[in-house]
Structure 1
Amino acid sequence: MQPIEIIKAIEETAPLAAAAAWDVSGLQVAAHRQNVTKLAVCLDPTPASVGAALEQGAQFVLSHHPLLLKAVLPIRLDDYHAVLRLLFQADVPLYAAHTSLDVNAYGPAGWLARTLELGNLTVLEPVTPATGDTLPLGFGLAGDLPQPMTVRQIAGIIASNAPLSTATVSGPEPQTVTRVGYCTGSGSSLLDAAQAAGAQLFITGDVKYHTALAAEICLLDVGHHSLEEEMMLRMSRLLQQRLHDVEVFFVPSASPFRTVALS
């Protein structure tokens, strides 16, 4: 299959035109290769992930996070240089579906809403108008649980799908929760929108100290890695369903954050 056909399949779920203005979703590294039989999907285009993908025979790499948010010359022997070297030597293209993937609630970005069986969904930060009963493209979701749950029960459901080893809770914790908001990655800027949408619990990553200190609803910080790792695993499964002539595989990664082990 040609790389352009793979890109078309990616953009059916991750529309490039809807990506944030500051983002650089899309093709990151071009290649001469015109036939792809193996596609690797990963969260971060690190030397470890790209190297593992190439060792497994990947001829196209899809990541969530871009290689860089601002292009620079490869003047240092750093991770950026290492990834470019790996891809150039193997003649393998790299494509990033970053905020272009985040905005589509019907794609893998909506996996937690479907797992929690949320109803009456609202997009926290729309980037396109709604059309009929269809949700607009945009960042973050809020929805009603099928029955009241505790924060611990909700965390348990997430933990059965994604790692929560570094998760923290802040803000007032209600006895039960009936409406949840969430945003994958670093979404604490949407806290006010989640509260305005009626959420009693907001789930995201990278919550800052003063945000947690001033929170008026419960905040579950699952880290930047947790929800997005699962999102990209599900993206790999979706692409495998669409790309019948290509083997799609997921390259797992671990959060760079670890809990402190006290002896």
Structure 2
Amino acid sequence: MQLTEIFSAIEKIAPLEAAAPWDMSGLQVAARRSDAVILAVCLDPTPASVRQALELGAQCILSHHPLALKPALPRRLDAYHEVLRLLLAADVPLYSAHTSLDINADGPAGWLAGELELRNLEVLDPTAPPLSGAALPLGFGLAGDLPTPRSLAQIMSALTRHIALSTATVCGPMPERISRLAYCTGSGSSLLREAGASGAQLFITGDVKYHTALEAEICLLDVGHHSLEEEMMRRMSELLARRLAGLNVVFVPSASPLRPALLS
């Protein structure tokens, strides 16, 4: 399959023109090749993930996070240099769908709303009109009503069917029952005010800072940066496999770099 076809399919789900202005979504590393039969999808373009993708025979790699947010010379023998070395030696392009994917709640970024069967969906931070045929505007974060009120424990139990919560933390007031919740994949605690304004009693995100936790006026569940986005990219791989018949799409799983501290 032509690389242009693959990139076009990605951009129908993750429109580049709607990415945040500070972002580096799009082609990260070019290649001389023009086609591919195996596409690997991963969360982070780390040396380990890129190496595993190449071992699986990938001729094109899609990651969520960009290789770098600011272009830099490969003047140090670090992870950035190693990824470039691996890709250039194999003549394999790297494409990133970062905020271009995050802003489309009708795509894989909306997976949690679907699993929890949220209703009356609202985008927390709308940034652009809906894509053709889509129900929601483009933007960051989602809020919605649960079919029936649940406790935090019940919601966390539902989450554990899809993501790891071994490093999750909670802060803010603890509601007895939650009828409306909001979430934002990755590092989304800056949308806490919008989550509260949406009527949510619970906001799920990652990378919550101390002072944000200290001042939280609604319950805030920090599941880490990795978990929601890892599942989002797994589902992105499945969606692309359905849309790109004839292309072998493989998902390269990863583990969070954060883990519980255990005392021996």
Q: Is the structural similarity TM-score above 0.5?
A: yes
| 1:48-127 paired onto structure 2 within 5 Å | 48-127=48-127
- Cα distance in 1 for partners of 2:35, 2:222 equals 41
1:252 paired residue number: 253
- Cα distance in 1 for partners of 2:130, 2:19 equals 17
- Cα distance in 2 for partners of 1:201, 1:130 equals 26
Using the TM superposition, give the Cα deviation of residue 129 of structure 1 relative to its aligned residue in structure 2, in angstroms.
Answer: 3.5
| 1:1-263 paired onto structure 2 within 5 Å | 1-129=1-129, 134-263=135-264
2:12 maps to a residue whose letter is E
Compute the TM-score of the two structures, normalised by the length of structure 2. Answer: 0.98
Alignment deviations for residues 21-52 of structure 1 (CA, whole Å, 9 cap, x no partner): 00000000000111200000000000000000
Alignment deviations for residues 166-211 of structure 1 (CA, whole Å, 9 cap, x no partner): 0001000100100000000000000000000000000000000110
SS of the aligned residue for 1:84 comes to: helix
Alignment deviations for residues 125-145 of structure 1 (CA, whole Å, 9 cap, x no partner): 001135898210000000000
Give the direction of change, closer, same or farther, for the CA distance of 1:9–1:129 in structure 2 (3 Å limit): closer
- Cα distance in 2 for partners of 1:40, 1:60 equals 6
Give the direction of change, closer, same or farther, for the CA distance of 1:28–1:237 in structure 2 (3 Å limit): same
Alignment deviations for residues 110-166 of structure 1 (CA, whole Å, 9 cap, x no partner): 000000000000000001135898210000000000000011111111111011110
RMSD after superposition? 1.1
- Cα distance in 2 for partners of 1:133, 1:250 equals 26
Identity %: 69
Decide whether the 8 Å contact of 2:106 with 2:134 is kept in 1: no
Decide whether the 8 Å contact of 2:106 with 2:135 is kept in 1: no
SS of the aligned residue for 2:128 comes to: coil
SS of the aligned residue for 1:127 comes to: strand
2:149 maps to a residue whose letter is P
1:113 maps to a residue whose letter is A
* Total equivalences in the alignment: 263
User: Once structures 1 and 2 are overlaid, which stretch shifts more, 133-142 or 122-131?
Assistant: 122-131
Compute the TM-score of the two structures, normalised by the length of structure 1. Answer: 0.98
- Unaligned stretches of 5+ in structure 1? none
- Cα distance in 2 for partners of 1:85, 1:217 equals 46
- Cα distance in 1 for partners of 2:35, 2:27 equals 16
- Cα distance in 1 for partners of 2:128, 2:101 equals 14
- Unaligned stretches of 5+ in structure 2? none
SS of the aligned residue for 1:157 comes to: helix
Alignment deviations for residues 5-27 of structure 1 (CA, whole Å, 9 cap, x no partner): 00000011000000000000000
- Cα distance in 2 for partners of 1:104, 1:179 equals 20
